[in-house]
Structure 1
Amino acid sequence: MRKIHFPFLFLILFVGCSSEENASTTESTYFPPTDGSATWETKSIVNLGWNETAVQPLLDYLELKHSKGFIILVDGKIVMENYFNGHSASTNWYWASAGKTLTSTMVGIGEQEGLLNINNKVSDYIGTGWTSETLAQENLITCKNLLTMTSGIEDITNGDAVDPASLEYVADAGTRWAYHNVYVKLQDVVAQASGETWNTYFNAKLRDKIGMNGTWFASGNNIVYWSTTRSMARFGLLNLNKGKWKNEQILNENYFTQATTTSQNINLGYGYLWWLNGKPSYHLPQSQYQFSGSIIPSAPNDMFMALGKNDQKIYVIPSKKMVVIRMGDAADEVNAALSTFDNDLWVKIKALYE
């Protein structure tokens, strides 16, 4: 059964001398408490001036497409929060590859604390022999190459395996973009550089600071994060605010900007484990083909995204001061992180505010 939560109305009055002044007035970003309380302020569809008639078609579509949790934030406040197909606000669900952005963030935090440098080779932190490449080939691979998916390691034959025998040379680091699970070695880099376990460092430097819940679980060759939908929304809100939570800069803005900007000249739609909309071209996993145009044509061009298997989504749209979260099973029984679901979903989301 679908559970629908319609937020209460909050009437925000802006006083100005003219309509032009009122239009230029902006509301400061709201951050929910981090003390474990369920309090989270809301903002209504009506108060935003959005189209109420577009709400139900969106909800029907989300339920039809096997969604479990869905949240829209504007200015940090909940505009829509909906649960479907037996899910609830307290149920944890996996982020899949959307959690790559958590790793990107932790690498940035480690760098700002002086523990590591993304331009250094991976072997500086985890030792040599972590691949089957020659020492000269392996020494070309920097932490930044792992952040940008330009390690040059074979991405098809050995799938997601990250043992040394499976990490084979295809091209020099920096010369080829290929989506690969080898990025998880960055978690080892952070652990070695910090002298703490990955979980301990992650919880202290990110999770607990912004009030997320959640746990990392081993899943095959990967470590996957599980949390509530609201916790995913908290992370999206942190990134909407350029790495700052209330008055604390969790992740420095310079790194954040690099992470959410084209990171290399091969796949223009990729930053540091973040996907970028609105670029002239992009590549997709398991392909060397260059596609023309924006990744999600129906979505805002300034949007950056965390995309995971079975359609786990974090969409961050700075121009709209908006974060959109979707958790659930694969919308169309397709396992890819990106599918036609994204474009169709954004047609329905835009109907709310256009």
Structure 2
Amino acid sequence: MKRFKKILRYGFIGIVGLIVVSVFWNYPKLTILSGYSAKNMASSVFIGNRTVEFTDVNDNNFAPVNLADDEVNTTEKSAIASVFGLKERKAIFREGLGSVLINDDFDEKAPYVTPTRSKSKTNLPFPYGDLPQKDTVFTSIDYNKINDVVNSIFDKEGARIKKTRAVLVIHKDQIIAEKYADGLDQNSILLGWSMTKSVLATNYGILQKQGKININQKAPIKEWENDERKEITINNLLQMNCGLAWDEDYGSISDATTMLYIDEDMTKPQIYKEAIHKPNEYWYYSSGVSNLLSGILRKQFDSYQEYLDFPYREFIDKIGMHSMLMETDMAGNYVGSSYAWATVRDWARFGLLYLHRGNWNGEQIFNPDWVDYVTTPSPTSEGDYGGHFWLNSGGFYPDAPRDMYSANGFQGQRVFIIPSKDLVIVRFGLIGDAGVDFNTFLKEIVSSIQ
């Protein structure tokens, strides 16, 4: 009996020891987990107009983020999250700028500048206005098949495998299929995650059309002037082949997670990374590059107000994407890597702008050759990536048209643009390729149109 008690005692000590070691190694990660939960909760509630309960059950219901507990203050528009009461983080909502994780040094009561918006309604049918689209039936479309395909990408009742939240299919400017998961509809505002990168890049296409920037010029970064990084161009940044070190890992404390959930100024982390390759020699996906580009964009204007206004004035509000909101970091920079919100129909408008090569109902927002640029494969990307857009020229989706390109985001957010079929397909969800067979989905959608 004594021996048995001794074994139990040592076993208990061993278990406690393992728990202590586990907490020690994972304690720093709790900052990231609680930060993700607080930020996502604040944005979901105060931008997406969803409840705390809905967000807990859906948006934040995946390991290990679901370890965090959230408290929302609707009066001050904030969310606080912690994991087992540890590493408490706070996010606040500011009208026009979205939600932002803050630290102890942030002055919540300080006045702030907001973007100027123009949200006048247009007396035209969708997509160029706010009226219902004209009734149009295409004899070339098998509507029964396309509805079956769209339904197939949603989970059956009770299942949580495909986790699709919304699908919209547009052919020749007409919605030919649209479906939403329970609790969402055409007015629901959804986070595009890294689809924001494509929105950010569009600003460079507009500036180039206006003759205010040349993307082949050297990146205007003072810290790079006296070393090999001085050869990096804006083009290298847009194509993600600048050769700078970066760790884009979301399962650990990495460059990406530190930037998004700890750093005050998200435009700076990539600046201080060393060059491990020469430009055009190595392609590597980096959210740090996108936020660096947001910082470079800010330098193109004489005032902060002009920087805030530019995306909305020059194309977002101009093409009727009035639901879109681009969030900023603590330093006031657009988080160009990750944080743009809009309805599914407004994300579709973005896809249509590119489908029509920058022309929006007769007005040229950016030059047609900008589309040629963003769809040209970046060197060493194996045909998968262009200028802040993903490509299918390398056959990533083997049964989809090779001219297809897309804005892609975390958890399977997609705006697919297929010029050869006059198609824009938008899909929102909570899981990507790991749960959804996009190749078959795209193949069947395309085959539904003769």
Q: Report the TM-score, using the length of structure 1 for normalisation.
A: 0.76
Whether contact under 8 Å (1:316, 1:323) holds in the other structure is yes
Specify the alignment match of 2:411 in structure 1: 310
Whether contact under 8 Å (2:405, 2:417) holds in the other structure is yes
Specify the alignment match of 1:18 in structure 2: none
Specify the alignment match of 1:145 in structure 2: 236
CA shift for structure 1 position 217: 1.8
Runs of 4+, deviation exceeding 4 Å: 218-223
Of 198, 201, 206 in structure 2, the residue corresponding to residue 101 of structure 1 is: 198
What pairs up with 1:106-117 in 2 under 5 angstroms?
Answer: 106-117=203-214
CA distance in 2, matches of 1:223, 1:302: 25
CA distance in 1, matches of 2:362, 2:271: 46
Specify the alignment match of 2:274 in structure 1: 168
Of 389, 402, 416 in structure 2, the residue corresponding to residue 301 of structure 1 is: 402
Does residue 206 (structure 1) correspond to residue 315 (structure 2)? The answer is: yes
Of 153, 164, 171 in structure 2, the residue corresponding to residue 67 of structure 1 is: 164
- Tell me the amino acid that sits aligned with residue 364 of structure 2: Q
Whether contact under 8 Å (1:148, 1:270) holds in the other structure is yes
CA distance in 2, matches of 1:165, 1:264: 22
CA distance in 2, matches of 1:299, 1:219: 37
Whether contact under 8 Å (2:242, 2:280) holds in the other structure is yes
| SS of corresponding position for 2:169 | strand
CA distance in 1, matches of 2:209, 2:446: 37
Q: Point out the more displaced range, 99-108 or 152-161.
A: 152-161
Summarize the Cα distance change of 1:51–1:252 in structure 2 as closer, same or farther, 3 Å threshold.
Answer: same
Of 133, 137, 140 in structure 2, the residue corresponding to residue 40 of structure 1 is: 133
| SS of corresponding position for 1:188 | helix
Question: How many aligned residue pairs are there?
Answer: 298
Of 214, 222, 237 in structure 2, the residue corresponding to residue 128 of structure 1 is: 222
CA shift for structure 1 position 187: 1.8
Specify the alignment match of 2:120 in structure 1: none
Summarize the Cα distance change of 1:331–1:266 in structure 2 as closer, same or farther, 3 Å threshold.
Answer: closer
CA shift for structure 1 position 117: 1.2
**Greater RCO (Cα-Cα under 8 Å, separation 6 or more):** 1
Whether contact under 8 Å (1:278, 1:297) holds in the other structure is no
Whether contact under 8 Å (1:66, 1:85) holds in the other structure is no
- Tell me the amino acid that sits aligned with residue 239 of structure 2: T
Summarize the Cα distance change of 1:43–1:166 in structure 2 as closer, same or farther, 3 Å threshold.
Answer: farther
Specify the alignment match of 1:352 in structure 2: 448
Which consecutive unaligned segments of at least 5 residues does structure 1 have?
A: 1-29, 280-293
Whether contact under 8 Å (2:384, 2:396) holds in the other structure is yes
* 1:289-309 Cα distance to aligned partner (Å, 9 max, x none): xxxxx1111211211111111
What pairs up with 1:237-276 in 2 under 5 angstroms?
Answer: 237-276=352-391
- Tell me the amino acid that sits aligned with residue 62 of structure 1: F
- Tell me the amino acid that sits aligned with residue 119 of structure 1: N
CA shift for structure 1 position 163: 1.8
Summarize the Cα distance change of 1:163–1:155 in structure 2 as closer, same or farther, 3 Å threshold.
Answer: closer
Of 141, 164, 180 in structure 2, the residue corresponding to residue 83 of structure 1 is: 180
CA distance in 1, matches of 2:273, 2:309: 27
CA shift for structure 1 position 194: 3.0
| SS of corresponding position for 1:186 | helix
Whether contact under 8 Å (2:218, 2:231) holds in the other structure is yes
CA shift for structure 1 position 89: 0.6
Does residue 52 (structure 1) correspond to residue 148 (structure 2)? The answer is: no
CA shift for structure 1 position 174: 2.1
Whether contact under 8 Å (2:283, 2:380) holds in the other structure is no
CA shift for structure 1 position 219: 7.4
Which consecutive unaligned segments of at least 5 residues does structure 2 have?
A: 1-123, 157-161, 249-253, 260-267
CA distance in 2, matches of 1:190, 1:215: 17
Does residue 194 (structure 1) correspond to residue 301 (structure 2)? The answer is: yes
Whether contact under 8 Å (2:169, 2:176) holds in the other structure is yes
